[in-house]
Amino acid sequence: MSAQERIYTKSEKFGLNRREFMRLLGTAGVSAGLATAASACATNSQPAPAAATQAAAPAAPTAAQQAAPAAQAGNKWASSIKIRFFAGGDAGDAFASIVYKGAQAVTADIGAAVEYVFSGWQPEKMTSQLRDAIAAKPDGIAMMGHAGDDAIMPLAEAAAKAGILMMYQNVDVPKVRAKFGGGYVGSDLTPQGRALGAEAIRQLGLKKGDKAIVFGAWDQPGRYLREEGTAKYLEEQGLVVNRITGKPEWASDPNLLIPSLSAAVLKDPETKMVVYSGGQQLGAVPAYMDAIKKKAGEIINIGFDTSPAVIDGFKKGFVQLTSDQQPFLQGYMPILNLALSKMYGLGALNIDTGAGFVDAKNYQSLADWATKGYR
């Protein structure tokens, strides 16, 4: 299946049937047609950046662009465009590997010269790497927003002054985008977190007074919004929530979470549910439960993202619920948008990639896609 077909399921939400979708991808419109549809119909979690800020606007079209966009579109039309892409974690971790796959797919489709950046989910490292990326003066940068508005703001200003286009994925930086432009591809974090809490209450028989542990990046402004949304919703329903600050390195080695979980459950053996902040940890739930001597189902385990390990957790009864945010799209769409903006002067997209919930009743429908590394 081609990369274009792999993103069909998202385009279907934009009002395109399969025939229209493939026709767009096979003609001069190619990615421009898809992006226009996405821009018109995708869920915008944040307002578009202020129109007055156009420091990094694309240059006026060249004669070649005006004369033959169709020919360019059919023949690796973005081959002259240089992009730095931030995958977030390490190349092999459960989430970043899917983001990376999406980025590789669009690179193969459009022919852009893309340099991939891996950061181990370390915000300080991302900031340093962004500084290096700006110094290299690519045409565009697709940046993870984990460092937050304050840390990224001066670097976004430098990028704008250098004429570098910016996109952001996975974690939004709304203040940065409002001032210096750029789009966002990822879930709307606070609503996603609250929705997970609501679905857990609806499905899993939780009640007032039940105790829950919520792991989150409480020390990362902007990044913790999703888990805080879940925690607050649970508290609003009368649950008692223990917030535990997660560590970026847990994504690379999920087993490092075991001491924190073991201590928390030992301190409060009546813990009813644990909420994990990423698919890397959610996929390691069987090992966590083994470490604290719990059988499948004795503690409810929920969280975010899918992976082969998460699907296996559902199959074995250890995982009950997860919220999917389609990381493949977080790799594919930012690069595509940057290339379209540079080549054709199109605007930045804001796309909510949240796809709903995976639970014990429907996980099998995603099993093949997860095994292949797309979900």
Predicted TM-score (pTM) of this structure: 0.80
Residue 7 confidence (pLDDT): 42
d(CA 108, CA 56): 26
- Is the pLDDT at 23 greater than 80? The verdict is no
H or E element, residue 114: strand 113-117
Q: What does the pLDDT look like over 284-336, one tens digit per residue?
A: 999 999 999 999 999 999 999 999 999 999 999 999 999 999 999 999 999 99
Report how many domains make up the chain. 2
Q: In which element (H, E) is residue 128 found? A: helix 123-136
* pLDDT for residue 39 is more than 60: no
How confident is the model at residue 42, as a pLDDT? 38
Please tell me whether residues 346 and 310 are part of one structural domain.
no
Do 181 and 199 lie in a common domain? Answer: no
Give the per-residue pLDDT at 50.
36
Of the pLDDT bands very low, low, confident and very high (cuts 50, 70, 90), residue 62 is low
pLDDT of residue 251: 85
Asked if residue 202 and residue 128 are part of one domain, the reply reads: no
Place of tokens 């081959």: 79
Predicted confidence (pLDDT) per residue in 221-271, tens digit: 778 899 999 999 999 999 999 999 999 889 889 999 999 999 999 999 999
pLDDT of 43 above 60: no
Residue 151 and residue 26 share a domain:
yes
* Tokens 């074995």, located at residue: 316
Residue range of the domain that includes 193: 189-324
Same domain, 24 and 159: yes
Task: Give yes or no for residue 49 having a pLDDT over 90.
Answer: no
Say whether both 66 and 143 belong to one domain: yes
- Count the Cβ atoms, other than its own, within 10 Å of residue 122: 18
The 10s digit of each residue's pLDDT in 171-220 is: 999 999 999 999 999 999 999 999 999 999 999 999 999 999 999 998 88
State the pLDDT at residue 41: 36
pLDDT tens-digit readout, 108-144? 999 999 999 999 999 999 999 999 999 999 999 999 9
Chain centroid offset of residue 193 CA: 14
Do 297 and 157 fall within a single domain?
no
In this prediction, residue 193 carries a pLDDT of: 96
| 48-51 contacts, C-beta under 8 A, 24 or more apart | 48/347, 48/348, 48/350, 49/177, 49/178, 49/179, 49/180, 49/181, 49/182, 49/348, 50/178, 50/179
Statement to judge: residues 214 and 300 lie in one domain: yes
pLDDT score for 61: 56
Q: What is the mean pLDDT of residues 331-359?
A: 96
pLDDT of 73 strictly over 80: no
For residues 173 and 218, state if they share a domain.
no
Residue 71: which CATH number? Answer: 3.40.50.2300
pLDDT of residue 91: 87
Specify whether 115 is located in the same domain as 142: yes
pLDDT at res. 92: 85
Given the DSSP bridges, would you call strands 140-144 and 183-186 parallel, antiparallel or unpaired? unpaired
Whether 304 and 339 map to the same domain: the answer is no
pLDDT at 60: 55
Last residue of a domain, one of 324, 341, 362: 324
Longest dimension (CA), the chain: 70
| The pLDDT of residue 200 | 98
Pairing mode of beta strands 183-186, 211-216: unpaired
For range 69-89, the mean pLDDT: 81
Residue 248 is predicted with a pLDDT of 87
355 vs 153 pLDDT, higher one: 153
Residues 55 and 159 in one domain: yes
